[in-house]
Amino acid sequence: MLELKKISKVYETEDLKQTALDCISINFRKNEFASILGPSGSGKTTLLNIIVGLDQYTSGDLIINEVSTKKYTDRDWDSYRNHRVGFVFQSYNLIAHQTILKNVELALTLSGVSKTERVKKAKKALKEVGLLKHMNKKPSQLSGGQMQRVAIARALVNDPDIVLADEPTGALDSETSKQIMELLKSVAKEKLVIMVTHNPELASEYSNRIIKLKDGKIIDDTNPYDGTVNTKEDLEVEKKKPKKTSMSFLTALSLSLNNLMTKKGRTPLTAFAGSIGIIGIALILSLSSGVQNYINRVQEETLTSYPLVIEESSIDLTSAINERREEILNDKDKKMIKIKKLLLIIPLLIL
């Protein structure tokens, strides 16, 4: 149901080409618990990110349910991520200000499921990981092992076919790690679980397949699969069509309001900062138009001291007036420009 065909991933930075995955081919069974082992930098995280569609392969092909992902659109990837795979992170990635019920429920908001259905499914998932009675606690009120259970419940709530876990026990003590492994093992009875781990003992104790990576290559696979023994059940699962990803308007609205309410301090502060900017611009505009008016008035007053006189004999005073006028204006203009500059700087300083 999930097959990697000669997948390579090359990261290109300014001065360096880094081959994170080098022509990897793996075929996974419909349900198994596969562990991926390898030293740091061997490409484990890159492999998971490519399987979950968070990163794109450079060459090769990823086959999901016998369909090549080469022509997958963004929408296809969204739909796949929201309905077919669940991801468990080492650092849990829980939302701190939401209860754990809400944390699990949130994974369903993009699935177009109604609110009551969401709560029902989230409670069921929390029950499966043994945390139902803690559902109204915030993540900070839980232990590391419990937080990882919430993360697993969140990965399971959508009933995905594939569950991926990146070092899920990396931050846990050995006893708690075992409990998490038991949980993943039971999940793997019905689903494909792919787990990256640093711990070979846990991998060999709990998983039924160990794939070893080194420098982006597979150096060992304890239980390879060639994809030929597809049972009827396999084919049925493969035909399961993913639904479209969607979120109702009300859900979106309630999520945004919720988000706004949790940042009570930040919202007025942003509004305050924004208004300072707007007030500043208004101040600059009004000052500059006021100064312009003042200049016009001064000009008019200055020129009224040269009234129009009609005489019998004509003398051409125009040039004399113009000269004098320019002198006065130059003088006034210089002063005005100075005042204008000063007035423009004051609001900028305030900002």
Helices (H), 165-317: 174-187, 200-206, 232-239, 249-262, 266-304
| Residue 45 binds to Mg ion (criterion: CB under 5 A) | yes
CB of 63: closest distance to ligand ADP in angstroms?
Answer: 21
Q: Which residue has the tokens 């003992």?
A: 201
Name which of 20 and 183 has its Cβ closer to Mg ion: 20
Q: Evaluate the CA torsion angle 69, 64, 89, 165 in order and state its sign.
A: negative
Q: Give the one entry of Mg ion, ligand ADP, none that residue 207 binds, where binding means its C-beta sits below a cut-off of 5 to 8 angstroms depending on kind.
A: none
Q: Which residue has the tokens 């092992």?
A: 145
Name which of 45 and 111 has its Cβ closer to ligand ADP: 45
Q: How far does Cα 9 stand from its chain's mean position? A: 22
Which residues, other chains included, contact 98 with Cβ-Cβ below 8 Å and sequence gap of 6+? 106, 138
Paired strand residues for 206: none
Name which of 13 and 231 has its Cβ closer to ligand ADP: 13
CB of 214: closest distance to ligand ADP in angstroms?
Answer: 10
CB of 173: closest distance to ligand ADP in angstroms?
Answer: 22
Q: Give the one entry of ligand ADP, Mg ion, none that residue 146 binds, where binding means its C-beta sits below a cut-off of 5 to 8 angstroms depending on kind.
A: none
Name which of 199 and 245 has its Cβ closer to ligand ADP: 199
CB of 55: closest distance to Mg ion in angstroms?
Answer: 12
Instruction: Provide, for the chain, the percentages of residues in helix, strand and coil under a 3-state DSSP scheme, each rounded to the nearest 5.
Output: 50, 20, 30
Name which of 43 and 145 has its Cβ closer to ligand ADP: 43
Pull the structure tokens for residue 124: 């069921």
Q: Which residue has the tokens 């596969």?
A: 34
Name which of 43 and 160 has its Cβ closer to ligand ADP: 43
Distance of alpha carbon 118 from alpha carbon 157, whole angstroms? 9
CB of 219: closest distance to Mg ion in angstroms?
Answer: 17
Select the span of 44-52, 101-109, 218-226, 239-247 touching Mg ion (CB under 5 A).
Answer: 44-52
Task: Give, for 129, the enclosing helix (H) or strand (E).
Answer: none
10 Å CB burial of residue 282 (0-12, 13-18, 19+) is exposed
CB of 89: closest distance to ligand ADP in angstroms?
Answer: 12
Q: Which residues bind ligand ADP (CB under 6 A)?
A: 11, 13, 18, 20, 38, 40-46
Which three-class secondary structure state does DSSP give residue 68? Answer: strand
Q: How far does Cα 212 stand from its chain's mean position? A: 30
Q: Which residue has the tokens 């468990």?
A: 88
Q: Give the one entry of ligand ADP, Mg ion, none that residue 144 binds, where binding means its C-beta sits below a cut-off of 5 to 8 angstroms depending on kind.
A: none
Name which of 93 and 141 has its Cβ closer to Mg ion: 93
Size of the site for Mg ion (CB under 5 A): 1
CB of 46: closest distance to ligand ADP in angstroms?
Answer: 3
Q: Give the one entry of Mg ion, ligand ADP, none that residue 41 binds, where binding means its C-beta sits below a cut-off of 5 to 8 angstroms depending on kind.
A: ligand ADP
Select the span of 5-13, 41-49, 117-125, 154-162 touching Mg ion (CB under 5 A).
Answer: 41-49
Distance of alpha carbon 346 from alpha carbon 240, whole angstroms? 67
Q: Give the one entry of ligand ADP, Mg ion, none that residue 209 binds, where binding means its C-beta sits below a cut-off of 5 to 8 angstroms depending on kind.
A: none
Which residues are at the interface with Mg ion (CB under 5 A)?
45
